[in-house]
Amino acid sequence: MKSDDDLATWEWNITDDAITWSEDTHRIFGLASADTPIGLEQYLALTHPDDRETIAGAVRHTLETGVSFAIDHRIVRPDGSVRFLQCRGALVTDAVGRPLIMRGTVLDITARPRGRETILLVDDQKDVRRVVRRVLETRGYHVLEAASGHDALRLTVNFPTPIHLLVTDVVMPGMSGREVSLVLAPAHPTMKTLYLSGYADESIVRHGLLEPGVAFLQKPFTTDALARKVREVLDAPPAP
């Protein structure tokens, strides 16, 4: 018997804009084999509305650079059910580098253990917030999003349930990530903090922006690296 954790395959003929699927891919999407091939726009229509631009952007980037993509996203089946997928794609070009075919795999990860915690995301870069939020929400976390430290304070001043993790940029206008963490700590004493920055952690510590030993993830990072680090910080024992 096939399970939803089987790896399925797909192929997009770029010239003809025709995407063909394996039998397992049809099963994952809840569609009959007669429903393909389809075009890219039709594929995007099957995805969750909040994830469409992210997927389209990943495909554009691969077409422009030749760099393979790996992305988690949601689809909406014809029966209305939502599935969480892990999708990978790679480009095949002709002798002069023109895109011909994109091939990849799809894995249904809906049944995998998912987070239940509430995470406060603070970053002044909209694109970073969008990507991080998508990664966290597709793994089940409840995400609160703020564009600055002051926005985070306003958002959480009367928040009725615990905030389990603060994911914040280190350097931001107005308030630094460390300041946000310190100000929120009295109201959320069990909250943990994961800092993000484009600077290496040694540089951040050397300039006094963070203390040694704090949870840190350097930008840019992969979706898998972010998901692993978030789970690692949440599962770590409380600091003494």
Pairing state between β 165-169 and 118-122: parallel
Domains of the chain with bracketed CATH: 7-108 (3.30.450.20), 118-235 (3.40.50.2300)
Mean pLDDT of 164-171: 94
Mean pLDDT taken over the chain: 88
CA distances to 45, 49, 85 from 76, rounded to whole Å, are: 9, 9, 11
Q: Is the pTM of this model over 0.85?
A: no
Give the pLDDT band of residue 73 (cuts 50, 70, 90): confident
